């Protein structure tokens, strides 16, 4: 899974996600998940396009089931957005890039005033 979306796991979760002050997008995925493989290149493109505005991370749910459970991730791919360590938005299932961009743009606009 090469790309610009960096891997996050239990050992780095707090530092990367919970302690981040910027908006963070986390892709909950697994190797065996077909829709996850379809979304992966989109997630990497978004990481590149929103560099400096949005932090993008990927979490393998098979390797980190406790974190997936903590956020009630029942289906993958699940894309969750965090701000100041709190989940603020959740998208479940494969979606077109346009839908991800709409959510990202609205969240960035919402939190721009608090930055």
Query: Which residues are the active-site residues?
Result: 33, 36
In three-state secondary structure terms, 86 is strand
Question: How far is 4 from 49, CA to CA, in rounded Å?
Answer: 10
Residues 6+ away with beta carbon under 8 Å from 50: 56, 104, 108
CA 24 and chain centroid, separation? 6
Edge-to-edge, what's the strand order for the sheet holding 6-7? 6-7, 55-60, 24-29, 78-83, 86-92
DSSP 95: -
């Amino acid at each position: 899974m090469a790309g610009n979306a960096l891997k996050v796991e239990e050992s780095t979760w707090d530092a990367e996600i919970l302690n981040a002050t910027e908006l963070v997008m986390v892709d909950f995925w697994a190797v065996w998940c077909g829709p996850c493989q379809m979304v992966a290149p989109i997630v990497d493109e978004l990481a590149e396009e929103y560099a400096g505005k949005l932090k993008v991370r990927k979490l393998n749910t098979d390797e980190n089931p406790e974190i997936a459970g903590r956020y009630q991730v029942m289906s993958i791919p699940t894309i969750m957005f965090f701000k100041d360590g709190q989940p603020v938005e959740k998208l479940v299932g494969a979606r077109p890039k346009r839908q991800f961009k709409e959510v990202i743009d609205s969240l960035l606009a919402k939190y721009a005033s608090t930055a």
